[in-house]
Structure 1
Amino acid sequence: MNILIIGGGGLIGQKLARALAQNGTLRGVPITQLTLADINDPAPIDAPFPVATARCDIADPASVAATVTDKIDVIYLLAAIVSSHAEEDFDAGMSINLFGTYNVLERCRILGTKPVVVFTSSIAIYGGEAVDPLGDHSYPNPQTSYGAQKAIGEILINDYTRKGFIDGRAFRLPTISVRPGKPNRAASGFMSSILREPLNGQRATCPVAADFEHYYLSPRKCIENLIKGANLDAADLGQNRVMQMPGRTWSIGQMIAAMTEVAGPGPATLIDWTPQPDVQRIVSGWRWDIHAEKAKRLGLTADDSFQDNIRHYLTDDKP
């Protein structure tokens, strides 16, 4: 089993690589090669099989051709630029999130090897006039460029699968929290930073009110689900290869209460409540009444509580 992770230098890519190294198999077959590809050289990982790293700019078809070879059995297509960045720089968002996805899928078509392709979409595809509750069969009505680009990627995954060019499956990820590391340019970044920084003894700013609700999943559960998603049989996926990954809805106040229950009262005192209109404008169009019935039927799961999200960060990622 030869696996390629495009976006292998990012948080999810690195965690996925380490999980695959620990498992040693995918789709019931021993892993014989793993390649981590990203715009910059990904950090290497230890594994009981060969692990290579490569630079790949998915906006460049030649770079994609050099990375996606006929030896690849499974491709995780995780690479993207995040929501605020894609909103600020429309050309960059289109080049990477839309045409980058197209370049990878088109390379698969040219090769004719029909690899399994696992594509990470986003709950940003929901919005506008789509009626609650939302889920697998809700029509995409994104209110950001990032959401629009991901929605187009979903359609491409379905169509390239229908034509027999790939064996695709796309998962609409909840917002991942608590994310480790430094803040990124995602509008949702504060949904981790208001927990991560206080847990690390640092101050953080919350730009929205305590009653703001959103749909979340921990990094640990996301990785579990991405591996389960690759293992699914094509016959069980049906004609629509796009589905919502399970998550749970929490308010900011509930998340902070969960942090306090697990880590004590100290971290919450490090949060500054400062409204930020630019962030509020983006996140106000996001939806949270979301259901993942198909993925649940297929064995994917959400965290049991947000206390678990906090515990996972303290166990897996706290410096």
Structure 2
Amino acid sequence: LSGMLALFERLAKQATEQGRAARVVYASSVAVLGESLPPSVDEHTLPRPTMSYGVHKLVGELILADWTRRGKLDGRALRLPGIVARPALSAGHGSAFMSQIFRAAQSGQSYTCPVSPSATVWWMSRRCCVDNLLHAGRMSAEGLHVGRVWTPPVLHLSVQEIV
């Protein structure tokens, strides 16, 4: 949280000096939504994070919306799912297995998946993620809703359907 706040504060200070709010596209997460979701999810779905990661992302959304309302920033937040086919990382973040499935299949290696075949996951490619972030950055501020949060379309598939 402290890094995000420091960045927002620096951008707000620059905005004051330059006379216009800096545009910020915040990579939030579907983790803000928590578990036991309805069949259809959008930006109006009530956030109920069940992990610290989701709480931190929600705090970022709320601060960004507040500072946008106050004219300190021109913020937009996208609730992103796990992004697949990203480079391998040593960090064991929760959605890393999604990319590892593809890397193992591509290299012909065996892979033991940490979730069951019936587990449903929200999938988005790296390219689609970048396109969504760029689109959010290009949107005119006029007419955007107050919350400034969007849940972009994703594939909602089981691991078995992917494999």
* Equivalent of 1:218 in 104, 110, 125: 125
CA drift of 1:131 comes to 4.5
Residue 128 of structure 1: how far off its partner (Å): 4.5
Q: Tell me the number of residue pairs that the alignment of Structure 1 and Structure 2 aligns.
A: 159
Distance of aligned partners of 1:180 and 1:129 in 2 relative to their CA distance in 1, 3 Å threshold:
closer
TM-score, length of structure 1 as denominator length: 0.47
Q: Does 1:122 align with 2:29?
A: yes
Which residue in 2 is equivalent to 1:100? 3
Aligned to 1:170: 77
Identity of aligned residues (%): 35
User: What is the CA-CA distance between 1:253 and the residue it aligns to?
Assistant: 0.7
The whole-number CA distance in structure 1 between the counterparts of 2:53 and 2:2 is 13
TM (normalized to structure 2)? 0.90
Larger radius of gyration between Structure 1 and Structure 2: 1
Match of 1:87? Answer: none
- Residue 173 of structure 1 deviates from its aligned partner by 0.5
CA separation of 1:129 and 1:197: change in aligned 2, threshold 3 A? closer
Aligned residue in 1 for 2:59: 152
RMSD: 1.6
Counterpart pick for 1:248 among 147, 155, 162:
155
Residues 129 and 141, structure 1, Cα contact 8 Å, conserved in 2: no
Aligned: 1:181 with 2:88: yes
How much does 1:183 deviate? Answer: 4.8
Cα 1:131/1:211, change in 2 over 3 Å:
closer
Structure 1: state its 5+ residue gaps.
1-97, 257-319
Does residue 136 of the first structure (1) align with residue 43 of the second (2)? yes
Secondary structure of residue in 1 paired with 2:142: helix
Q: Aligned partner of 1:212: which letter?
A: A
Answering whether residue 141 of structure 2 is matched by residue 238 of structure 1, we say: no
Deviation at 1:130, TM superposition (A): 5.8
Trace 1:15-164 onto structure 2 (pairs within 5 A). 98-111=1-14, 112=16, 113=18, 114-128=21-35, 131-164=38-71
Cα deviations across residues 10-30 of structure 1 (Å, max 9, x unaligned)?
xxxxxxxxxxxxxxxxxxxxx
Q: In 2, Cα distance between the equivalents of 1:227 and 1:119? A: 11
Q: Which residue of 1 aligns with 2:104?
A: 197
Uncovered stretches (5+) of structure 2, i.e. residues with no partner: none
